[in-house]
């Protein structure tokens, strides 16, 4: 295959955005993994986004904490800019949310505790995220939360001087009422509101409203307390519901602060487990940082139980090698960035649906053993994503039946490559949803079908995945 740079191969698309995509980079010799965000500067110029990209890079450089995706460096070649980032093998948070169900309350609390710790760290740096949602929260191999995507972030406080913000930005279901109002607003309460909506999604498997304004009946009913016996609120038990009622206060001044959230009884409840690497995080000052004498079972005064993660896996660069790896990536010339679109116009108007140049890179370890030669089965080595299934009737028949199922669901289906299709539909919230389906032949007639969201809400995408799986249940061997 054609390498990205000598010794590094570009594998699957991990995510897409307005100006490009995020791809997985694999070191051919060591199997070390990195993510690379590829920005098409021509598209960014059209939207005057160059300043936002520069700001995003500056902010990521400030976030040296395990609760954030780490920034390793950047380079520009021609009209493409490459940002080298930490690879989070655990996938996106929305993948762990079962549509209309949510997740276990204990797991939701763990993620929420980590999210609040991350947002507190941001605010202590004078930074606001402004687009917090499950799609912008990734997980590592130990299911520790990592906040990402700082394209809408900005500095709201510098040298103790706080300023109000005026830009209306974010994703409508998650933004606060004051952001939508078009008036100036304070940054910290707005981020806290988004955290509350994320918690609703984790506990109930659905969003409480399409947007928090007067035109949304669900939001108006919530404000007048008419909806507390209805979904999603009737799915949430009393203690987390009491916290949510204090977070999702319409008036920013009445809203819980992060310090008040951290003192709430549900938030501080025992049995939460997080990785011990958070012990060194400056975002959690209540935790003892010098804790070499602690055992994995030690319980601190925060009532948080820590598990000791394995050593840094081979899927991430070892600290002593990271500098040389990044020097290599940022000095060697980029040889090739693959794309399956047929024209510049197509690339400008649609996400790139590039197939990995070698199919086995879809089967990269989500946690490569540090022991050379240790065997792993095929499906233990999949990059973690919970929207895949195996079928038993060959690629051609699987593709035909999948296309038929998509059309029954009202999707517009287009062939992208010989083994990929792209589906688009207007979801139940009337927003565009676009996802890609790739078909990989396995042994015999078995096929791995991989669905990945390109645009739209993560929970709506999961709902369509469930519907597709139900329509294809006769040929599905296993949902992965």
Domain assignment present for residue 368? The answer is: no
Q: Are both 193 and 334 inside the same structural domain?
A: no
Distance CA 465, CA 436 (A): 11
Catalytic residue annotation = 131
Do 107 and 256 lie in one domain? The reply is: yes
The pairing of strands 388-391 and 476-479 is antiparallel
- Select from 189, 181, 90, 183 the least CA-distant residue to 132: 189
CATH of the domain at 441: 3.30.310.80
Q: What is the CATH number of the domain that holds 274?
A: 1.10.510.10
**465 found inside a domain:** yes
pLDDT of amino acid 428 = 87
Question: Two tokens at 358?
Answer: 């070698």
The CATH number of the domain where 330 resides is what? 3.30.200.20
* Same-domain check for residues 165 and 46: no
Residue 118 CA to residue 113 CA, distance in Å, equals: 9
Q: 3-class DSSP state for residue 260?
A: helix
- At 314, is the secondary structure helix, strand, or coil? coil
Co-location of 154 and 237 in the same domain: yes
Question: Tell me, what's the pLDDT at 433?
Answer: 95
The token pair at 407 is 């059309």
Are 150 and 280 contained in the same domain?
yes
432-441 and 420-426: which strand pairing? antiparallel
Listed residues 349, 371, 406: the one ending a domain:
349
User: Residue 286's CB: how many other CB atoms inside 10 A?
Assistant: 10
Domain count, the chain: 3
pLDDT of residue 285: 37
Look at residue 3 in the predicted model and tell me its pLDDT: 63
Does some domain include residue 201? yes
How many angstroms separate the CA atoms of 140 and 145, rounded? 7
Q: What integer pLDDT is reported at residue 53 of this predicted model?
A: 86
Q: Taking a C-beta distance cutoff of 8 angstroms, is the pair 124, 118 a contact? A: no
> Is there a single domain that holds both residue 284 and residue 142?
yes
pLDDT per 10-residue tile (average), the chain, 480 residues: 69 77 86 88 73 89 94 89 91 92 96 98 97 95 94 93 94 96 95 98 96 95 89 95 97 97 93 43 36 31 34 45 68 55 38 33 33 34 71 95 96 92 92 93 92 91 95 92
In what order do the strands lie in the sheet containing 412-417? 412-417, 420-426, 432-441, 447-455, 388-391, 476-479
Distance between CA atoms of residues 251 and 176, nearest Å: 10
DSSP bridge pairs for 13:
23
The pLDDT score that the predictor gives to residue 333 is: 67
> At which of 252, 278, 307 does a domain end?
307
Secondary structure element (H or E) that encloses residue 177, with its range: helix 177-180
Q: Using the 8-state DSSP alphabet, how is residue 343 labeled?
A: S
My answer on whether 151 and 295 are in the same domain is: yes
* Together in a domain, 246 and 272: yes
Residues 329 and 399 in one domain: no
Q: Which two tokens stand for residue 203?
A: 């506990």
pLDDT given for residue 269 in this prediction: 86
Is residue 372 situated within a structural domain?
Answer: no
**In Å, how far from its chain's centre is CA 381?**
20
Mark whether 73 and 98 lie in a shared domain.
no
The answer for residues whose C-beta is within 8 angstroms of residue 68's C-beta and 6 or more apart is 60, 118, 121, 146, 147, 148
**Per the domain annotation, does 376 fall within a domain?**
no
Task: Note whether 160 and 246 are same-domain residues.
Answer: yes
Using omega within 30 degrees of 0 as the cis cutoff, is the peptide bond preceding 232 cis?
yes
Enclosing domain of residue 81: 8-87+315-349
Are residues 265 and 174 part of one domain? yes
Is-contact 173 210, C-beta < 8 A?
Answer: yes
Where a domain ends, among 349, 374, 400? 349
For residue 54, give both structure tokens. 């520069």
First to last CA, the chain: 28
């Amino acid at each position: 295959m054609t390498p990205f740079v000598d010794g590094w191969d570009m594998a699957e698309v991990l995510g897409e955005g307005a100006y490009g995509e995020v791809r997985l980079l694999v070191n051919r010799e060591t199997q070390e993994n990195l993510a690379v965000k590829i920005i098409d500067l021509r598209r960014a110029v059209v939207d005057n986004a160059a300043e936002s990209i520069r700001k995003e890079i500056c902010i990521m450089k400030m976030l040296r904490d395990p609760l954030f995706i780490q920034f390793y460096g950047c380079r520009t070649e021609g009209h493409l800019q490459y940002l080298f980032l930490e690879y989070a093998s655990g996938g996106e948070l929305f993948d762990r949310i079962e549509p209309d169900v949510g997740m276990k309350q204990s797991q939701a609390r763990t993620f929420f505790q980590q999210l609040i710790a991350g947002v507190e760290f941001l605010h202590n740096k004078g930074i606001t995220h402004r687009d917090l949602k499950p799609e912008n929260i990734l997980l590592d191999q130990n299911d520790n939360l990592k906040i990402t995507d700082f394209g809408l972030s900005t500095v709201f406080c510098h040298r103790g001087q706080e300023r109000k913000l005026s830009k209306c930005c974010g994703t409508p279901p998650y933004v606060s009422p004051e952001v939508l109002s078009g008036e100036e607003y304070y940054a910290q309460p707005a981020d806290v509101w988004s955290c509350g909506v994320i918690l609703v999604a984790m506990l109930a498997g659905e969003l409480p409203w399409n947007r928090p304004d007067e035109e949304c009946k669900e939001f108006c009913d919530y404000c007048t307390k008419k909806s507390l016996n209805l979904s999603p609120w009737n799915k949430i038990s009393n203690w987390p519901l009491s916290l949510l009622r204090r977070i999702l206060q319409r008036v920013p001044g009445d809203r819980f602060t992060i310090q008040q959230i951290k003192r709430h009884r549900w938030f501080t409840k025992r049995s939460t487990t997080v990785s011990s690497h958070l012990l060194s995080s400056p975002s959690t000052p209540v935790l003892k940082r010098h804790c070499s004498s602690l055992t994995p079972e030690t319980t601190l005064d925060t009532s948080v139980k820590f598990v000791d993660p394995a050593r840094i896996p081979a899927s991430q660069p070892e600290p002593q090698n990271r500098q040389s790896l990044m020097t290599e990536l940022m000095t060697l010339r980029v040889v090739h960035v693959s794309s399956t679109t047929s024209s510049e116009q197509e690339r400008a108007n649609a996400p790139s649906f590039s197939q990995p140049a070698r199919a086995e890179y879809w089967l990269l370890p989500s946690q490569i053993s540090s022991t050379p030669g240790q065997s792993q089965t095929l499906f233990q080595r999949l990059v973690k994503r919970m929207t895949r299934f195996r079928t038993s009737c060959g690629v051609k028949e699987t593709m035909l039946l999948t296309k038929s199922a998509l059309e029954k669901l009202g999707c517009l289906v287009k062939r992208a490559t010989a083994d990929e299709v792209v589906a688009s539909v207007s979801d139940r919230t009337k927003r565009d949803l676009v996802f890609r389906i790739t078909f990989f032949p396995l042994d015999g007639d078995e096929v791995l079908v991989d669905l990945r969201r390109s645009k739209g809400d993560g929970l709506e995408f999961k709902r369509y995945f469930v519907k597709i799986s139900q329509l294809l249940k006769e040929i599905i061997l296993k949902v992965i």
